Amino acid sequence: MTIHARNVVLALVLAALCAASFLFERPSAVALERGPLAPGFDPAAVEKIELAAGDGAPLTLARREGTWRVVERDGFKAYAFAVDELLARVRGLQRSDKIGAEAAAHELQGVGAAGTRLTFADAAGRTLLALVQGAPAGLAAGSNVRLAGENDVYRAPALPPTPLAPAAWLDTHLMSFQPASVRAVVLSHGASGALDLLRDEQGWRVQDAAGGRVPRTRVERLLQVASNLIFADVIDAAVSPETGFGTPPEALLELELEGGERQALWVGRQTKAGAYCATNPHWEKPWCVALPADTAEVLFAALDDVAAGAR
């Protein structure tokens, strides 16, 4: 039987097409080295994050009823944006920038025994992802990472070194309000009595029989100072004489907002460490937090300025 030349050509073309199809469909070695470092990692499923470096004590962030908490600070509220940012950056880790695969180089790359371990777990305590992170000297930005239990190391330029200090994760705002929403103010500082102020169409007036007026600019400055107060750390789970909180407080500021919401700040005596113990009585727990001395002095000056304006 004679095979026509045209059939030979067609057979060769068909074979070439089949070979090309196989090559395109088969994952290449390059393709296998790309893509997410942790496929399927879902930040929404994470309920606990444990951070630790070397032999150091772990830092635990736990989500309770939708709110992130710093466990080592008696469950004080964590700064949600910082936690969400960490989860988003971890989800975005890629395999595309592999820098090594030898365990012997882990220490030099920052992901050895001294590296920071990040463990993400779900509500049942199951580990969803475990990483080792490090930033060796000279690294321009980001960090190096590897999956716990694996040797391959990857550059993570968008993931900076993860802080391990509990204070770095706290939501350190003492009060949460917009100055324009404040309708009434009660304040005191030191031995002076409490001063009650009420906002009206002309500005601010004292709520007493005389009803004297207080310069608007002084009250507005106090509210701006109060709305931007930041504490340094949580001192204790509750205020007490031992934590430098006297009775009555060294200073107090109580606010009534539109709609009847209330915010307040009480400041106690100065502690031996130099900071002032402060608390917000509207928190779910009476945590004692450290208000730095220079910050407290700015608040005290603003309180005294308003009181002087009411005389």
The residue type at 272: K
As annotated, the residues of the chain forming the CATH 2.60.40 domain(s) are 179-309
Distance, CA of 178 to CA of 180 (rounded, Å): 5
Q: What is the dihedral of CA 77, 79, 82, 83, to 10 degrees?
A: 20
Query: Which helix (DSSP H) or strand (DSSP E) does residue 54 occupy?
Result: none
Q: Average pLDDT, stretch 61-82?
A: 97
pLDDT digits (tens, 9 = 90+) for 268-305: 988 888 999 999 999 999 999 999 999 999 999 999 99
Class of domain 179-309: mainly beta
Stretch 80-89: mean pLDDT, rounded?
97
Spell out the residues 6+ positions from residue 45 whose beta carbon is closer than 8 angstroms to its own: 122, 128
Between vectors from CA 88 to CA 83 and to CA 92, what angle results, nearest 5°? 150
Q: Hey, what are 289's tokens?
A: 């937090």
Which range, of 14-18, 61-65, 87-91, 273-277, averages the lowest pLDDT?
Answer: 14-18
